[in-house]
Amino acid sequence: MANLLIIESGGKVKKLKSILGAGWSVKASMGHVRELADDGQDALGFDLDGAHVRCRYVLRNTQAQKIISELRGAVRQADRVYLATDPDREGETIGWHLTQELRLKNPLRVTYTEITKSAVEKAIANPRTLDPKLVAAGRARDCLDKLVGYKGSQLVWRLNNGCKSMGRVQSATLHLLVKREQEILAFKPQDYWVVWVEYKEGFKAFYAGSANQQTSKTPSEKSTDGSGSEKDDTGEEDPVAEGKRVLSQVEADRLVAIARSHAHQVVKVESKRVKQSPPAAFTTSTLQQAAGSKLKLNPEVTMKIAQKLYEAGHITYMRTDSVILSPEFCAAARQWLLEHDPNNVPSKVAFHRSKSGAQEAHEAIRPTHIERTPQLLSSQMMGDEAKLYGLIWNRAIATQCCPAQIAKTRIVTQSGAVLWEARGQVLIEPGYTRYWNNIASDSQLPPVQEGQPLTLDKADAEKRQTQPPPRYTEPKLVQVMERSGIGRPSTYAPTIKTLKARNYVQLIKGKLQPTLLGMELDEFLAKVLPDLIQPEFTAKMEADLDAIASGKLDWERYLTDWHRDYFAPALNHAVAQVQVLPKTNQPQTSQSKSTQPKTKAKGQTQNRPQTEQTDYQCPKCQRPMVRVFSKSQKLKADHFLSCDNRQGGCGAVMFWNPTLANYELPKSSRPAPPANPSKLTEHPCPSCGQPLELYEYTRDGQIKKMLRCSNPTSRQDQCKDVAYFWTKNEVFWSPKLGELKSKERQKSNR
């Protein structure tokens, strides 16, 4: 009889089997197996009953049914069952669902943050029970998000403009982007002049005021030559200020004239040596930011690559908000430095504190073995995978290095009554920057003495305009989400992905810009549910979920109280607000009608006719079509279009397709496109004998491939089950027909 280890991802099975050896069976749940049912009031799948939440869970899909069936068989064969789902609240909740569905009596919960022999064996030797507090927080998040998403989306549907949904985290994030866009649209540029002098002694200085005023050291003027600033993980630096701004051409000309007509001399020289501590190790947020700025990877791709690195045992768990590193890793990193970079070993390592609310049980993201350098593993990895591992390795080793030492210099010169200022810095001890350089380029000033006369080479002024605040890049948005308390490490990438998929935002030249649809949605929510789009409100809800996870709040009472005291009254008020907004059935242009269906809203009780004339033309007979209202749950809207040519007997109907944001004929009525000769393969259809054709489509932002029958007529009938999908094993496989073998393999099998 074997021990059974149940994990989430199938990608870890092989690695864990090699670690555990004989006597162990490793099975994967492939993530979530259950979800809230789509039944009951508003299809929430749960009821709020007094101070209790009655949830009804169902298996997610047919794949989950198959997985559960296989796991039940494995459980019957096992002496002990260990649940090794991911070490976070979501993983704990998945473990609880598996316990319920598999009817496990005493499952042993094990967690590890790296897939290495020592970490896994240590976890197996120290099992625990499922943490009910973490499970409660996970269930509360699921119910809360569905409650807000489903009920709020019913209001959104009334816009009839193609908006598909709203969400607790997604709408607050959209609001950040819309606010920035509004700031850009409202921005009015102002002219100003930068006045500067160049000396033959080899440096440039900027206007700094008059001699009878105190030289300003405001933050906006701390770096007059672009040096001295520290880059954050988004790759962005503080805006470069170039002296005091001059607000008129007349004043700029006057200052230039003074510079050209008066002698110059040094009046002050300040030099100091400062230490710059290394940055903290990566969290999920900072990893996404750094990968975006240095490797041009979006958050979703970054997390997919990090998942592969984790499953291969190269890095620790990649969803974390802690910057803490284990003592064992710090000791190993220090030993590596003593052997390879002994002058870079500090007497005391810089201490970094995680942000408030971080789950300190998790480590920061780091390599599992410091001796596995990027160069050593270069042959095992390709492309972005190797580059991302290099970022993680270098950042982790940098945290254990000496501080960088920088010599900073400030020179103030004077001509007449006008002061000029130059700043520079030189990196004199690189320290941690050998592995992670986040210090701006050097700008060295020449050695000068106070009272030293200077020779003017050039004096001039340049007209500039103030610039609007920049749109957010994806890395910057992740940073803003984290700082605003919106979402958690596991939600940053999916939230941005959803906003793009819903066409609420678009990526233009690397910057996120809300679309007109996104602007309309945010404006609507600001009127009807203003609290839910405010970052502070969403951050408070995240803090409440943290309190549930720590046992300070009862999740059922929290949810029922929140619904009774806030959300239900807010929804009632929102419905009243919607009644006074412009009606969606007002006359519209034919173009606007093509993208704005009357979308289904459950519980809608307004009186309306059974049919309504439209100006759509029937695609078959070109006669006008009528809108026929229906309560059918199978429709994507509360109506369909029907041809009004009753005498001609056309009978055409069209249904709303939210993906295309337009009406379309049912599949049986659509003319099938002819097969593309360039897509035909050598494989015959097992049903009709026609060649299979290669078909490409997009799902979850990725391009997928499949083989299907090339006969468009039989493809909708006798060959509808013929579908071979391209798998990770680089073979075509069908759920009903199995693996598609090449002719060579077929011959060899004979």
CB-CB contact of 603 with 572 (8 Å) = no
Long-range Cβ pairs for the range 251-258 (8 Å, 24+): 251/193, 252/193, 252/195, 252/461, 253/461, 255/195, 255/207, 255/418, 255/461, 256/195, 256/459, 256/460, 256/461, 258/415, 258/416, 258/417, 258/418
Query: Cα–Cα distance between 64 and 29 in angstroms, integer?
Result: 8
- H-run or E-run covering 737: none
Cβ burial, residue 508 (10 Å; 0-12/13-18/19+): exposed
Structure tokens at 316: 């620790």
Structure tokens at 532: 């839910």
CA distances from 394 to 305, 366, 374, 405, 552 (A): 17, 9, 9, 19, 39
CB-CB contact of 146 with 154 (8 Å) = no
Name the residue with tokens 């995240």.
542
Residues annotated catalytic, as ranges: 317
DSSP 178: H
Query: Cα–Cα distance between 598 and 588 in angstroms, integer?
Result: 13
CA-based max dimension of the chain: 102
CB-CB contact of 502 with 164 (8 Å) = yes
CB-CB contact of 707 with 721 (8 Å) = no
Query: Cα–Cα distance between 135 and 365 in angstroms, integer?
Result: 24
CB-CB contact of 24 with 2 (8 Å) = yes
Name the residue with tokens 């002050």.
268
Name the residue with tokens 């209202």.
629
CA distances from 12 to 198, 307, 440 (A): 62, 10, 40
Query: Cα–Cα distance between 370 and 121 in angstroms, integer?
Result: 20
- H-run or E-run covering 4: strand 2-7
- Spacing of C-alpha 317 from chain mean position: 17
CB atoms within 10 A of CB 198: 14
Query: Cα–Cα distance between 343 and 337 in angstroms, integer?
Result: 8
CB-CB contact of 206 with 240 (8 Å) = no
CB-CB contact of 698 with 704 (8 Å) = yes
- H-run or E-run covering 736: none
- Spacing of C-alpha 369 from chain mean position: 28
CB-CB contact of 683 with 707 (8 Å) = yes
| Burial 555-586, CB ≥16 within 10 A → b, else e | bbebbbebbeeebeebbeebeeebeeeeebee
Cα-Cα-Cα-Cα dihedral sign, residues 210, 213, 217, 221: negative
Rg (CA), the chain: 32
